[in-house]
Amino acid sequence: MLKVLFAPLQGYTTGIYRRAHAEIFGGVDAYYAPFLRIENGLPREKDLRDLECAGVAERNRTDYKVIPQIIANCVQEFKTLAEAVLQKGFTEIDFNMGCPFPMQVNRHRGAGLLINVQAVQEIMDEIKRMSGSATNANGTAPVKFSVKMRLGQNSPDEAFALLPILNDTPLAHITIHPRLGKQQYKGAIDFNSFEKFYNECKHPLVYNGDITSVSQICEMERKYPKLAALMIGRGLLAHPNLAAEYKALGCKDFLGKILQMHQIIFEDACKKFQGDSQILSHIQSFWEYLEPNIPKKIFKKIKKAGKLSEYSEAVKELS
C-alpha cells in the first residue's frame, strides 16, 4: 500500500486545518506545511506561528506528523530558514523548487530556482553538510531533507540538468509534480518526462498531481511499483475522506464528518483570530474545494457571508 502525503497549499492546509483533518478523517501518513519564506530579511513570523496549533507545537504531536517546508533563492536564505525550523524542534525539512506563483518565480524561488544550477548546487552542498552534522533544537535527532519540484519553469530539460546534483545529495525523497512552472496548475501532466525521471532518480520518488480518486491511487500503485508515496492536494481538499478510503479505514456519513471537521476549525479559528473578517477569511477557504458536495445556494451564502452570524446561519442549513 502506498503512503499518502497531504500536499501543502498556502491558505488552505493551515495548522488548524491539518489538526482537524487528522482528527476526523485521517489516513494521511504526513502533512506537509505550506512554505516558510523570508520577509524583510527574516523568517516570516506568520508562517512560523502556523507550525503551532492550539498552543501545541506540531513537532510534539504524536497523533499525526507534520513536515515543514521552506522556499529560498540562495544558500543564505536556505540556511536562515532551515535554522528557524530546526529551532522549532523539527528534524525533517522539505525544500520547495516548484512553486509557480509569479511573486516567487520572479524572485528566483520555487520553479524559478530550477534554471539556476549554481544556486541549487550550493543549497544541495549545504544539505550535505547539515545532514551530516546538524541536529534539531534538542540536539538529539539528525536532520533529513526532501525536495518538492516541477520538471522545470519553461522546459523539462531543467529537471534533468539538475538530476545528477540531486542524485548526489542525501535526500529522504523527491516529490515531483510533472508540470512546468509556466503551466501553473493547469494543462496536461507530462507523463513521458515523469517516467524518465522515475527511471533516472536514485532517491525514493513521490508522485504529485491531479489525483482525485481511490481508483487513480490504485492505478498509480500498479503502474509505478517503485513509487514511495503519493502526495495529494486538491483531491484531498475536495474529498477529505480520500486517504482513509484508500486505506479502507472507511468513512460513513461524509457530510456529518465534514461538519465535525468544520466545527473544530471554526472553534480553533475563533480562538486564534480576532474580529469577524479575520476569522471568516480563515474558515471560508475550508469550503472552496468542497463546492461540488454542497447545495449551490448554501455554498453561495457561506462564501458571501460578511458577518460571523450570517456565516453560522448558512452552515447550519447544511445539517
Ligand X SMILES: Cc1cc2nc3c(=O)[nH]c(=O)nc-3n(C[C@H](O)[C@H](O)[C@H](O)COP(=O)(O)O)c2cc1C
Question: What does the binding site for ligand X look like in residue numbers (CB under 6 A)?
Answer: 7-11, 34-35, 69, 96, 98-99, 148, 177, 185, 208-211, 232-235
Size of the chain, expressed as the number of residues it contains? 319
Cβ 110 to ligand X shortest distance, Å: 8
Given the complex with ligand X, which of 223 and 297 has the nearer CB atom?
223
Given the complex with ligand X, which of 72 and 211 has the nearer CB atom?
211
72: which 3 cell numbers?
529560498
Given the complex with ligand X, which of 242 and 302 has the nearer CB atom?
242
Cβ 142 to ligand X shortest distance, Å: 23
Q: Which residue is nearest to ligand X (CB)?
A: 233
Strand partners, 36: 70
Cβ 14 to ligand X shortest distance, Å: 11
Given the complex with ligand X, which of 119 and 233 has the nearer CB atom?
233
* Alpha-carbon gap, residue 277 to 167, rounded angstroms: 47
CB contact burial 150-160 (16+ within 10 A = b; e otherwise): bbbbeebebbe
Between the CA of residue 245 and those of 26, 102, 196, 241, 255, what are the distances in Å?
10, 36, 30, 6, 15
Given the complex with ligand X, which of 234 and 257 has the nearer CB atom?
234
Helices 191-200 and 157-167, packing angle to 10 deg: 20
Given the complex with ligand X, which of 27 and 209 has the nearer CB atom?
209
226: which 3 cell numbers?
517503485
Cβ 209 to ligand X shortest distance, Å: 5
Given the complex with ligand X, which of 94 and 126 has the nearer CB atom?
94
Cβ 184 to ligand X shortest distance, Å: 8
Residues 6+ apart with CB under 8 A from 255: 293, 318, 319
* Alpha-carbon gap, residue 45 to 36, rounded angstroms: 9
Q: What's the maximum distance between 2 C-alpha atoms anywhere in the chain?
A: 57
Cβ 39 to ligand X shortest distance, Å: 14
Cβ 235 to ligand X shortest distance, Å: 5
Q: Do the Cβ atoms of 241 and 213 come closer than 8 Å?
A: no
H helices then E strands: how many in the chain?
A: 15, 12
